[in-house]
Chain A
Amino acid sequence: MEITVMKNIFGANAEKADELRDILKEKKVLMVNVIGSPGAGKTTILEKTIESLQKKGFNVAVIEGDVATDRDAVRLQKYEIPITLINTDGACHLEALSIEQSLKGFDLEKLDFIFIENVGNLVCPAEFDIGEQHKVAVISVTEGDDKPAKYPLLIHEASVMLVNKVDLMPYTNFNRDSFMKDVTQLNGTMDIYEMAATSDPEMTDWIGWLESKLKSL
């Protein structure tokens, strides 16, 4: 016999993600899902972002997705903020159910921002809605200017892109025009901020973006 099903395979995950988004909106917490390759600078950007937001009096928490270690979580302990660590035991991405568990450990009444550092990978994390309001794509110039074209789903899904390590551009064959052309072709409404998180921690535009998104919740 043939049975018509017509069911979304990630339907359960999508429902859970919508549920989490509703809770966060009610509590006026902005949760962003930071996605990028290993070594793109996700943790360094988080460090500088947390410093800037703390200076402005905001309360921040972090969910660290890591395949096997607690190294990134340990790096962020100095900010004395709530951090939960999710070890995916080899899995390449986070899912909404594990984020729900992490959120239970936070006092949402006291928070303004939650940053999720997803597992370093440009494919799978882009597939999964984990209840965030925005996906943030982090791409560093040392990875090459062809990354947007190679990973179209992430570029399509992300609201904002942080182009990191622009201070190293003169030492690479990164072609900014071709990079920007690909990004615009994939997502004409993407906000793009260039930065050099290690050498120049000023991230005024990116911090402004976060504040404006928090306000519009």
Chain B
Amino acid sequence: MHEFSIVSNLFEIMEDVAKENNLIRIDKVVLTVGKMRQVVPVAMEMAFEAVTKGTIAENAELELEFLPIQMKCNACGHNFDVEENVYLCPSCDSVQLEMIQGQELIIKHIEGEN
């Protein structure tokens, strides 16, 4: 249940942003989530509902934008998306790879009323 930790940290930042911008209500939060994070959307929604209950973000919509895992091959320089956990360069078969996308866990934007 790492989703609960994610949401607790997310909510702290949401509160800060609301204060800075004098929001009286938060309607929507959009997150960018890299696939390597193994975030389960249903678990995120449950945690989000529980944490925001009775706050200015109650009933807010949580939108997750998933980013595929992307690797750069250090042997031939090819960039590719990882599918089905195959971490192998499709153009030269090298395993000398560097992750350039997939570990994101970012609050992109918040929509609310002030």
CA distance A172 to B53 in the complex (A): 48
Pair B107/A124 contact, Cβ less than 8 Å: no
Pair A4/B109 contact, Cβ less than 8 Å: yes
CA distance A187 to B95 in the complex (A): 8
B100 to chain A, nearest CB (A): 13
Task: Please give, as numbers and ranges, the residues of chain B lying within 8 Å of A9 by CB-CB distance.
Answer: 6, 9-10, 13, 31, 105-107
CA distance A121 to B31 in the complex (A): 25
- On whether A188 and B106 interact (CB within 8 A), knowing A1-B111, A12-B9, A93-B5, the answer reads no
CA distance A75 to B10 in the complex (A): 37
- On whether A5 and B2 interact (CB within 8 A), knowing A123-B38, A152-B36, the answer reads no
Pair A185/B95 contact, Cβ less than 8 Å: yes
A141 to chain B, nearest CB (A): 20
Give the interface SS of chain A, mostly helix, strand, loop or mixed.
mixed
Task: Report how many residues on chain A are interfacial, defined by Cβ distance under 8 Å.
Answer: 31
Task: Please give, as numbers and ranges, the residues of chain B lying within 8 Å of A2 by CB-CB distance.
Answer: 109-111
Pair B114/A1 contact, Cβ less than 8 Å: yes
A-B CB contacts (within 8 Å), total count = 89
Task: Please give, as numbers and ranges, the residues of chain B lying within 8 Å of A187 by CB-CB distance.
Answer: 87
Pair B87/A185 contact, Cβ less than 8 Å: yes
Task: Please give, as numbers and ranges, the residues of chain B lying within 8 Å of A124 by CB-CB distance.
Answer: 1-2, 5
Pair B107/A5 contact, Cβ less than 8 Å: yes
Task: Please give, as numbers and ranges, the residues of chain B lying within 8 Å of A92 by CB-CB distance.
Answer: 1-2
A184: nearest residue on chain B (CB-CB)? Answer: B95
Pair B85/A153 contact, Cβ less than 8 Å: no
- Taking Cβ atoms with an 8 Å cutoff, the residues of A that contact B are 1-10, 12-13, 91-93, 95, 123-124, 127-128, 149, 152-153, 156, 182, 184-189
Given contact pairs A127-B37, A152-B85, a sample of 7 additional A-B residue pairs in the complex whose CB atoms are under 8 Å apart: A5-B107, A8-B105, A127-B2, A152-B36, A152-B38, A185-B88, A189-B96
